[in-house]
Amino acid sequence: MRRRRPESCLLLVLGLGLPCALLTPRAYAETVGQTRHAIVTEGIRKQYVLVAKGALTAAVPVLSLGNAVICGHNHSADTPYDDGTKGRDSPVPIPPNDPMYCHDNETGPADLAGIWSTDGIVPGGAAGAFGSPALVPSQGQAAFYTGPWDCFGMTAVEFWPFVGVPRDPSTMTSWNGILYLDNNDVTRDQSCVVSTNSVDGEGFLYVDGDLHLNSNFHYKGFIFVEGDLSINGNAWVLGGIVVRGKTSMKANGGLTLLYSSGAITQQLIKYGIPLVTLSPGGAFADSAEFFDDSSLGRWHLTPFGDLRLRHDRTQDIPGRTVDVDRWRLTARGGASWAPTPRFGAELSVRAAAGSKEDQEFPRIDNDAPDTLQLDRAGLWVTPWPGGTLRAGQMEFPLRLTELVWDPELRPIGIVAQHRQAVGAFDVMRAGIGAWRRSKLQDDGLVGVAQAGWSFHEGAERSGDAFVSYVWFEDTEWLARQGLGRQNSVIGAGDAARYAENFRLVDMHFEGRITLASIPVSAGVDLLRNLEPGTETDAARTRLVAGRFGERLGAEVGWAYLRAEREALPGAFASDDWWARTATRGHMPWVTLGWSRWLRLRVFGTFEWRDGVAQRSDRLVGELSLRWNTR
């Protein structure tokens, strides 16, 4: 067998009229009889041609866009985040690098319409549309794409391997990459409902259903929505959006959409340009081969982890003659595996090291020092639309406040959850589960039944209301480990137990608005232990202002806590407060961060223990680095 010359492979591809780049040949050997022959298989990186009609392309009427800015002029892929929110030009020529108007980021050629529609376009008086021309209405259904593959000059056979298996929207933790979101395995049935909240993403987002863009949505790349698109809050997109739709497209907030062929091309190359392998005979193989052969994505694996350095100084602690000054370094790392949208698993480990002063506190902290242990080891399935079953050791999946639960705990158990979209923007949630605190044997048991409602989830004006019934069993094991934490304990040694049982009703209410472009939230948590007759109540209030995004962000907050002695079991409550019960106090904090992966948090607590006149003061600094975490 004669070895094909690389240049002849390139000529063959060019003869087919495909724009391509010749890649490093991959050689393999074939045995014919007793003779081994080298055969070269050439790869091409196919550069799919973007076939865009407008910055916003819709197969339904485009109505009432609020104060949206939609610009079809071609913008640089380096256009800064949140540029163009006030339109294309101010009344006078704008200077270079103007942060509010987008004209200075236009590249010139390949301009498109601002809005292209098969039907009518009535954007409303406050909306601004720009392009060449600004509006192209009433083009008819025949002029729309036959499928999402048409946007890239693909065939349907090429498109489905390109986007991969569908993913359940409720499992999303990262919005980067080529993402296909659906609630079943039926293609193009428009059945999925996706609601976003504080998203920073890039790549290609394909939604087989409705997409509700809520507050703080930032995206670079291309979005194709098979169902309806609605905007309820501020959203910024650099690239393009296509809406097949079912009824019409409307916006109830501030959408800024700037067309950028460069951003779309950049993201496709970054996350998933496929290779089509050319056989020795000159024909293309049946399946696509993705560009990064070593990617964990080939094995449906997503790594995640975090690294945290924490310093704590606490003084005037009741019962101690010396203050506390300690350091701790904690690291977590692992991977999740999701071969289908219906099934997955996760596995991770945790390691922690503390300063000498930190070694005496394994009984005081849930995040114990000087340990190496399993962090997560669990399975999940989605047996029905909106439903999830989880089993194993996990990050706590239900919404409990810091009054009741420390997010550092990794309980072992099973839980069933359901999430149901109600109308366009509201979401109902319910869940029930039971867990051991952190060990399978000789440990406390907690059960939770919860129901909640999120109003306009993710929007600038939104709110949550959750009610939980929480019960605890086998708590004598915690008392015997010295985990009293201000709860009354009777007996000693193997006879030790808590003086009271714990059956809690926990209520959480939170509202969010935006003031002067700054998100502000306020919440209150109320709790009562139904078992004892006295010292049964706890409450926490919380006020937060600030935001994080792709760029530098900041947040300031304040919380007030009052917890009576038997209101809750202190062994499960947050480490951020020195005393868990029989206390009252204030906690101010400030957090600085870059995107979602780097944060510096500084907080203090001023606490008064019941029956103690002296105030305890605490100052904590925490630097954290995260990747692919919730």
Q: Helix H segments across 481-522? A: none
Q: Give the per-residue pLDDT at 440.
A: 86
SS3 304: strand
Provide the CA 80 distance to its chain's centre, in angstroms: 22
pLDDT tens by residue, 401-422: 888 999 999 999 999 999 887 7
In the chain, domain spans: 1-45, 54-271, 296-627
Beta bridge partners of 584: 562, 608
For 143, how many CA atoms within 13 A lie in the half-sphere containing its CB? 16
Residue 464 has pLDDT above 60, yes or no: yes
pLDDT tens by residue, 12-41: 232 223 333 333 333 323 333 333 333 333
Confidence of residue 547 (pLDDT cuts 50, 70, 90): confident
Q: Give the per-residue pLDDT at 375.
A: 95
Q: What is the mean pLDDT of residues 535-541?
A: 97
Phi first, then psi, for residue 112 (nearest 5°) are -125, 180
- 367 vs 213, which has greater pLDDT? 213
- Highest average pLDDT, of 185-194, 278-287, 383-392, 523-532, comes from 523-532
End-to-end CA distance of the chain: 54
552 neighbors 594 (Cβ within 8 angstroms): yes
Cα–Cα distances in Å, from 183 out to 167, 171, 176, 241, 301? 7, 11, 19, 21, 20
Confidence of residue 429 (pLDDT cuts 50, 70, 90): very high
| CATH classification (class only), 296-627 | mainly beta
Residue 502 has pLDDT above 80, yes or no: yes
Confidence of residue 341 (pLDDT cuts 50, 70, 90): low
pLDDT tens by residue, 446-459: 999 999 998 876 56
Which of 528, 529, 558 is CA-nearest to residue 541?
A: 558
Confidence of residue 358 (pLDDT cuts 50, 70, 90): low
- As a dihedral over the C-alpha atoms of residue 440, residue 446, residue 452, residue 454, rounded to 10 degrees, the angle is -60
Q: Which two tokens stand for residue 430?
A: 């319910």
Dist CA 110 CA 22 (whole Å): 27
Q: Helix H segments across 434-511? A: 476-480
pTM over 0.75: no
pLDDT tens by residue, 566-591: 999 999 999 899 999 999 999 999 99
Q: Give the per-residue pLDDT at 2.
A: 35
Cα–Cα distances in Å, from 285 out to 42, 190, 442, 468? 11, 31, 58, 55
Residue 309 has pLDDT above 90, yes or no: yes
- 280 vs 167, which has greater pLDDT? 167
Confidence of residue 184 (pLDDT cuts 50, 70, 90): confident
Dist CA 583 CA 403 (whole Å): 12
552, burial (CB in 10 Å: exposed 0-12, middle 13-18, buried 19+): exposed
Mean pLDDT of the chain: 82
Q: Give the per-residue pLDDT at 264.
A: 87
Q: What is the mean pLDDT of residues 364-392?
A: 88
